[in-house]
A and B are shown apart, each in its own frame.
Chain A
Amino acid sequence: MMRNLLIESIGVQNWTYILVGLTFAIYIGIAIWSRAASTKDFYVAGGGVSPLANGMATAADWMSAASFISMAGIISFAGYDGAVYLMGWTGGYVLLALLLAPYLRKFGKFTVPDFIGDRYYSRVARFVAVLCALLVSFTYVAGQMRGVGIVFSRFLEVDINTGVIIGMLIVLFYAVLGGMKGITYTQVAQYCVLIFAFMVPAIFISIQMTGNPIPQLGFGDTLSNGSGAYLLDKLDGLSSELGFAEYTEGSKSAIDVFAITLALMIGTAGLPHVIVRFFTVKQVKDARKSAGIALFLIVILYTTAPAVAAFARTNLIETVSNKPYASVPDWFTKWEETKLISFTDKNDDGNIQYVKGDAYLKNEDGKFDFSKPNFANANELYVDRDIMVLANPEIAQLPNWVIALVAAGGLAAALSTAAGLLLVISSSVSHDLIKKIIKPSISENGELVAARLSAIGAVCVAGYFGINPPGFVAAVVALAFGLAAASFFPAIILGIFYKRMNKEGAIAGMVVGITAMLLYMIKYKLGWFDEMLPDKSEWWFGISPEGFGTIAMILNFIVSIVIMKFTSEPPKEVQDIVENIRIPSGSGEATH
Chain B
Amino acid sequence: MSKTKNAKAYWRENIKYVLVLLFIWFLVSFGAGILFKDQLNTIRFAGFKLGFWFAQQGSMYVFVILIFIYVRIMNKLDKKYGYDA
Contact = CB atoms under 8 A, between A and B. Distances in A.
A534 interface: no
Nearest to A299: B60
A94 B41 contact: no
B48 A261 contact: no
Given A262-B30, A583-B10, A584-B83, A302 B60 contact: yes
Interface residues of B, number: 43
Contacts of A579: 4, 7
Contacts of B63: 90-91, 93-94, 295, 299
B71 A288 contact: yes
| Chain B interface mostly | helix
Given A221-B47, A230-B47, A295 B7 contact: no
Contacts of B7: 579, 582-583
B56 A254 contact: no
Contact of A94 (B45, B46, B52, B67): B67
Contacts of B48: 219-220, 232
Contacts of B57: 216, 219, 303, 306
A74 B33 CA distance: 18
B41 A248 contact: yes
Interface in B63-79: 63-64, 66-68, 70-71, 74-75, 78
A230 B52 CA distance: 14
Contacts of A500: none
B79 to A, nearest CB: 10
Contacts of A289: 71
A296 interface: yes
A339 B82 CA distance: 63
Contacts of B33: 83, 87
A51 B64 CA distance: 15
Nearest to A254: B34
A94 B22 contact: yes
Contact of B47 (A80, A98, A222, A285): A222
A422 B41 CA distance: 43
Contacts of B78: 285, 584-585
Nearest to A82: B56
B55 A86 contact: yes
Nearest to A265: B29
Contact of B70 (A98, A248, A584, A586): A98
B64 A285 contact: no
> Which residue, of B4, B57, B70, has the highest number of chain A Cβ atoms within 10 A?
B57
Contacts of A213: none
A585 B81 CA distance: 10
A579 B25 CA distance: 27
A434 to B, nearest CB: 36
A257 B38 CA distance: 14
Contacts of B55: 80, 83, 86-87
A303 B25 CA distance: 17
10 tightest Cβ-Cβ pairs between the two chains A and B? A230-B47, A83-B55, A292-B67, A220-B47, A585-B83, A220-B46, A306-B56, A248-B52, A220-B48, A97-B67
Given A97-B67, A289-B71, A584-B83, A87 B60 contact: yes
